[in-house]
Homo-oligomer: A and B are copies of this chain.
Amino acid sequence: MDDRAPRAATGRAKRGARVTIHDVAKASSVSVTTASQALSGQGRMALATRERVKAAAKALSFRPNAIARALLKQRSFTIGLLTNDTYGRFTLPVMAGISEALVDRGVSVFLCSVERDPVIGQSHVDAMLEKQVDGIIASGKRLDSRLPVDLSGVDVPVVYAYCEGPEGSVGFVSDDGQGARLAVAHLVDRGCRRIAHVTGPEDFAVVHRRAEGFAAALAAAGLAPVRAEPLIGDWSEAWGFAAAGALLEGPAAPPDAVFCGNDQIARGLIDALTLRGLRVPQDVAVIGFDNWEIFAAATRPPLTTVDMNLKDLGRHAGLTLLDLVEGRPVSPGIRKLPCRLVVRASSG
């Protein structure tokens, strides 16, 4: 069929005169009831009739009005994604996962950035609720912080993704402990025996989770950490750079591997090691955390790192929200999703 025919048909009246199911019904000489059923596969009718309606719909390039359907069905096939992660480091993969999981079920996503402002946040939530979202996903940049909005009173389902929710809520987080164990096990496999841990600020929950996983994996391998405590700093390259000095300059023997709390720290550490004439990974193997490609792939050598599978996390959050929306039973609680190790050259 000529692709331009429908165009012409659409433009039959003044701009903005959308083609409705009434037009389709008229064009195929049936009632709107029959037209609706023909297109949705419901109802009983002669096959010929159904085909005729479908052909007419196609010829008119009929697009069902989701707004009208939503009004009737009390279901908008729309969800809201709230985030305080302005920079998008964590939210975007989550968003991509949600979108990917829901697009073929006809669900669209409102994205709202709430920053730190409860007033802005509340106005976004109000707008979502007025637009009759079927559910809300709250997503953050820290596992252990809450969004500046109160979602306890809303009458649609809420799922939390990579952020903290209230007691009894449904949430998804990465299993940072497992990620850390993965990293350490990999280093041990590679023959490393003196492994250090350089990480971020103590007030981040992930710092403790990763440190616990680090300690557990060492213990499981029968090894003692090269330092009694992880080296605590901030999440920056500068700290990684400085930490190298602290690790090498003590009286103790230097480590043969370092597990870093994030990729930036690993980057700084590798720079410092290289500057001191140490080879990565031959002298010291290094593993990061986050798999932030722009860093992990740009370090020299490319960085082995733990990927939190945030896209997967988003997918799970989306599908679970759909379960809640459609009334399927979902038990409350926080689900930890496994991380995966991305092996590159920095670990040998």
Which residues of A line the B interface, CB within 8 A?
7, 10, 15-16, 18, 63-68, 70-71, 74, 76-78, 86-88, 92, 95-96, 99, 103-104, 106, 108-113, 120, 123-124, 126-132, 153, 155, 236-238, 264, 293-294, 298, 300
Contact = CB atoms under 8 A, between A and B. Distances in A.
Contacts of A16: 74, 155
B95 A15 contact: no
15 contacts: A15-B155, A65-B132, A66-B131, A67-B67, A67-B71, A67-B76, A86-B92, A87-B92, A87-B294, A96-B113, A99-B112, A108-B127, A108-B131, A109-B112, A111-B111
Nearest to A86: B96
Given A65-B132, A66-B131, 12 more contacts: A10-B155, A15-B155, A63-B130, A77-B131, A87-B293, A92-B92, A99-B113, A103-B120, A103-B123, A108-B112, A108-B127, A110-B111
A127 B78 CA distance: 10
A215 to B, nearest CB: 30
Contact of A298 (B15, B123, B131, B236): B236
A74 B66 CA distance: 12
A89 to B, nearest CB: 8
In the complex, the 4 A-B pairs of residues with the closest C-beta atoms, listed nearest first: A111-B111, A88-B92, A88-B88, A66-B130
A103 B10 CA distance: 32
A252 to B, nearest CB: 29
Contacts of A77: 131
Contacts of A65: 71, 130, 132
A126 B104 CA distance: 12
A103 B82 CA distance: 14
A15 B74 CA distance: 13
A130 B86 CA distance: 29
A103 B124 contact: yes
A64 to B, nearest CB: 6
Name the residue among A68, A86, A237, A294 with the largest chain B CB count within 10 angstroms. A294
A74 B88 CA distance: 33
A238 to B, nearest CB: 7
B111 A109 contact: yes
A149 to B, nearest CB: 14
A294 B290 CA distance: 15
Nearest to A74: B16
